[in-house]
Amino acid sequence: MKKIEYTVEQMSAIYKMAKAIYNKEERLKNGKETLFLSHGIDKNSFADFYRALKKMLDGELHTRGINTDLRDYYLSQIYKDYGSEKLRIALKAYMDFIIYYEEGHNNTTRKIERDIHQKYCNILSKSYTNRTIENEINAYWEGELEQVTITTHERNINARNKCIQSKGTKCFVCGFDFEKTYGELGKGFIHIHHVTPISNRDGRYEIEVEKELFPVCPNCHAMLHRRKDSTLSIEELKLIIQQNND
């Protein structure tokens, strides 16, 4: 069955109502009735839309597919309303859904779904790379809407996972462990440093995970890229920390 396409106005209304229900500000029964009367949204469909958002926010597998445009809209609003950590959780749930779907359809690749997933992985990676922990805490936000067109280098989520599997999630420079400090909240959180920045590469290339990727904390990651003319090596930054702690 062909999925119904929704306008941006309808998707905004769907998300806002689903969010209100998730935050226990509204009841599902009332939400279904309100959206049906105001925007013509099918009641049973909205129940699926709400469950999809709830599963994404909770990091759980949702096996009922929803319109890819709506899924894309959800991810953009999750990042805006809940921040980087919730987006990371939502992306994990989304990838679980993609794998579930592909395995159930003879391993058919869902390119559109994977492209959406990768787009937000890139946004997440850029967000983590450009902020130290202090900036994350003291962020300043303004409400004007602005359309921005950017070109980013695609990052391979499987390479990231392989790096973490091989080298763990402790910072290779200072040894900081997010899970040890923050408990469950910090579990699995770490930046992945490219020895040769992706921006210095020319197009598509093969990553040698063991030689090129290393887990580092946001502070050390920012310092590795602090110089404008060249990237510090991990050993150079370790030496700087040692010299300043003596």
Q: Look at residue 232 and tell me whether its pLDDT is greater than 80.
A: yes
- Residues 33 and 42: their CA atoms lie apart, in Å, by 9
**Cα(87)–Cα(93) distance, integer angstroms:** 10
Find out whether 227 and 202 touch, Cβ atoms under 8 Å: no
Residue 118 lies in a domain: yes
Q: What pLDDT does residue 90 have?
A: 92
Q: Using the Cα atoms of residue 113, residue 189, residue 220 and residue 208 in order, give the sign of their dihedral.
A: negative
Do 93 and 190 share a domain, yes or no? Answer: no
Asked whether residue 200 is domain-assigned, the answer is yes
More confident residue, 148 or 73: 73
Of 91, 114, 131, the residue at which a domain comes to its end is: 131
The answer to whether residue 50 is domain-embedded is yes
Whether 142 is in a domain gets the answer no
Residues 17, 90 within the same domain:
yes
**Same structural domain, 191 and 104:** no
Looking at the structure, tell me whether residues 119 and 37 fall in a common domain: yes
| Rounded average pLDDT over 127-154 | 47
Please tell me the predicted confidence (pLDDT) of residue 148. Answer: 43
What are the tens digits of pLDDT across the range 192-225? 888 876 555 554 556 778 888 999 999 998 899 8
pLDDT over 50 at 153, yes or no: no
Based on the fold, state whether residues 82 and 127 are members of the same structural domain. Answer: yes
Looking at the structure, tell me whether residues 28 and 103 fall in a common domain. yes
What is the tally of structural domains in the chain?
2
In a domain? residue 140: no
Q: Is residue 151 part of a domain?
A: no
User: For residue 197, is it within any domain?
Assistant: yes
Query: 219 and 182, same structural domain?
Result: yes
* pLDDT score at 200: 53
Q: Are residues 172 and 239 in the same domain?
A: yes
4 or 63, greater pLDDT: 63
pLDDT computed for residue 234 by the predictor: 92
pLDDT in tens, 75-121: 999 999 998 889 989 998 898 888 888 877 766 667 888 889 888 88
Gap between the Cα atoms of 20 and 37, Å rounded: 17
Residue 151: pLDDT above 50? Answer: no
12 pLDDT band (50/70/90 cuts)?
Answer: very high
105 & 24 share domain: yes
Band of residue 177 on the pLDDT scale cut at 50, 70, 90: very high
pTM: 0.53
57 and 117 belong to one structural domain: yes
Q: What is the predicted pLDDT for the residue at 67?
A: 87
Rounded mean pLDDT, 234-239? 93
31-55 pLDDT per residue, tens: 999 999 999 999 999 999 999 999 9
Between 238 and 129, the higher pLDDT residue? 238
Residue 54 lies in a domain: yes
Mean pLDDT, the chain, whole residue set? 82
User: What is the DSSP track for 17-62?
Assistant: HHHHHHTTSS-HHHHHHHHHHHH---HHHHHHHHHHHHHHHHT---
Domain hosting 232: range is 157-245
What pLDDT does 138 receive? 46
Q: Are residues 88 and 163 in the same domain?
A: no
pLDDT over 90 percentage in the chain: 41
Give the tens place of pLDDT for each residue, 59-77.
Answer: 998 887 688 899 999 999 9
13 and 124 in a common domain: yes
